Amino acid sequence: MDQTGSPENINKKGSPTGRRSSSADKKRQLIIGSAERIFAARGFHDTTIADISNDSGVHEASIFQYFKTKENLIVTVPERHLKETLANVTEHLQGMKGAEPKLRKLIWHQLRDLSINKDYTSILLRDLRTLPAFYESSAYEMLRRYSSFAADAIREGISDGDVDPEIEPVLVLDMIFGAIDSVVLRWLFFDDEYDPTDVSDQLFSLIKAAIWKREEKARSENGDEPRRGELRRRTILQAAAEVFAQKGYGGATISEIAGKAGIAEASIYQYFKSKEDLLLRVPGNWLNELADEVERVFSGTLNAEERLLNLLRRWALDFQTREWETRVLILELYRNPAFYNSQAYRNTHRFWKLIRSTVDEGQKTGLFRQNFQIDYYLHLIQGSFDHEALSRMMLHKRRATVVSIEQMINLLLRAIKV
């Protein structure tokens, strides 16, 4: 069979098979080129194979010789772009050492590639990211290979002692690529053009501030991000809550809790005296923090950092618990041009206005750094949670743990803290 799915019939007079293959490849690329233009202009659902046939001049029946379905065709569109991207970035990273230059290059490279071809970018972010078939395609595997370069760079930074060893690389990937998507979507829907060099500098400075190791300092009155021991303690409590809830106190074992928490059984006894002690402490942090939070909110004494922490936690909580609304927002509304002219979109400005004013106050009072642009920080916040939720929805990942979400929030705070 040749790549059109038709039997290979060798012309008895000697017509070269190479000429037939070349002709078939040209026709295939012609179809893909037309598909790219039409899908970008009309969107996946409003495009028909007949539209692509009319644009390319290739008969509908012939298109189905190359692509079984419309989905099969659209997931093929980004392949040529991604092959070139992977080849270029692999060459650029050759001989490069250290997390900082690699992450800078990868962020710049992604922003630049997406800015070069608006049709391809529109299809990738508006259609493919929400199409289940995309996540089983070779194009998606290429994107995974690209993101693995960033994950490897983060691990290299941890190994070199530059990046905080407690950082979860997957959270940083959500932050990086989510922020990039947020910037690029604004360009697609508002023609808000960006300079890849300027934006990559802004985003990397925020990411570096969030994940690079800092000198240990005494816990301030306002509090620093949880240290390793506190994060481990929270992980144990969350695992214990799940096991106790499912099996009851009698059926739960320390061994199972340790396994779910991903730590050695003996480590639990560094934090809790016994299984009963662990059971009694499960709701302790939650109820204590809830009471403290209510007191602070009603006293009106929250500073800018505490208010920002509250806003981020509320945003994260809604993304985790309002499953159906979040799914509609990310999979449908964010990719729909009409959304950006709706009252619902205007309502989102109320939340982001609160974030902006809180960050501005924190800068004025010396809690937050001065040398960053708030607009890109907002992209970082929105993109981080959007990317995590999108991965969970489309790849059927487990819901993020409380500890992971808390670490994400702390990274977002670290990105701007003095």
Residue with tokens 């500073």: 303
What's the CA gap between 135 and 329, in Å, rounded?
20
pLDDT in tens, 238-256: 888 888 888 888 889 999 9
3-state helix, strand, coil in the chain (%, to 5): 75, 0, 25
For the segment 336-342, the average pLDDT, to the nearest whole number, is 85
- What is the homologous superfamily of the domain 79-211 according to CATH? Tetracycline Repressor, domain 2 (1.10.357.10)
Q: Helix or strand or coil: residue 58?
A: coil
Describe the crossing of helices 196-211 and 99-116 by its angle, rounded to 10 degrees. 140
Residue 163's DSSP bridge partners are 212
CATH 1.10.10.60 segments of the chain: 17-74, 223-296
Average pLDDT for the chain: 87
What's the CA gap between 364 and 358, in Å, rounded?
10
- What is the homologous superfamily of the domain 223-296 according to CATH? Homeodomain-like (1.10.10.60)
The model's pTM is 0.80
Residue 4 has a pLDDT of 38
CATH 1.10.357.10 segments of the chain: 79-211
How many CB atoms within 10 Å of residue 418? 11
Q: Residue 241, class by beta-carbon neighbours within 10 Å (0-12 exposed, 13-18 middle, 19+ buried)?
A: middle
Which residues are CB-contacts of 110 (< 8 A; sequence separation ≥ 6)?
Answer: 146, 177, 180
- Domain 17-74: state its class: mainly alpha
Q: Helix or strand or coil: residue 16?
A: coil
pLDDT in tens, 152-171: 999 999 999 999 998 999 99
Residue 8 has a pLDDT of 40
Residue 212's DSSP bridge partners are 163
pLDDT in tens, 198-242: 999 999 999 999 999 986 554 444 444 456 677 788 889 888 888
pLDDT in tens, 67-106: 999 999 999 999 999 999 999 999 999 999 999 999 999 9
In the chain, what percentage of residues exceed pLDDT 90? Answer: 61
CA-only gyration radius of the chain, Å: 25
Lowest pLDDT segment from 42-56, 209-223, 270-284: 209-223
pLDDT in tens, 1-30: 333 344 344 344 445 555 557 788 899 999
For the cut 60, the answer to whether the pLDDT of residue 404 exceeds it is: yes
